[in-house]
């Protein structure tokens, strides 16, 4: 990552992805409300299955040329 201070869990024993760490940085700014919204989208009540939603997520990321 470009900013070392964002690597909030670099000393953790288990692997934590960069984006996972970034969501823990100043969580009130973004990570906390966003994670809850994402959880609602990806695992909450929906007409779409979890698998279909994962597919939408991968497609949306690919549109932005994002490999995550």
Partner 1 sequence: MKACFDVITRFADALGATPHSEAGLSRERAIAHEGRFYEEGYAEDYGAGVEEGWQRVAAGILETPGALDVSVRKAIYAGDDPPELAPLLEKVRKHAYKIVDRDVEGLSADVVIEATLAAALGEALTERSRALEALGE
User: Residues interacting with partner 1, by CB under 8 A?
Assistant: 1-3, 5-6, 15, 17-20, 22, 25-26, 28-30, 32-45, 53-54, 56-57, 60-61, 63-68
Cα separation, 42 vs 24, in Å, equals 19
Q: How far is the CB of 27 from partner 1 (least distance, A)?
A: 9
Between 13 and 15, CB nearer to partner 1 = 15
Contact yes or no for 25/8 (Cβ under 8 A): yes
Report how far apart, in Å, the C-alpha atoms of 39 and of each of 20, 42, 53, 54 are.
14, 5, 11, 12
Between 2 and 11, CB nearer to partner 1 = 2
């Amino acid at each position: 990552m470009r900013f070392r201070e964002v690597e909030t869990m670099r000393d953790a024993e288990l692997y934590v992805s960069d984006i996972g760490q970034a969501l823990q940085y100043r969580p009130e700014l973004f990570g906390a409300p966003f994670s809850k919204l994402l959880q609602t989208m990806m695992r909450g009540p929906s007409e779409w299955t979890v698998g279909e939603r994962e597919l939408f997520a991968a497609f949306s990321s690919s549109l932005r040329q994002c490999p995550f």
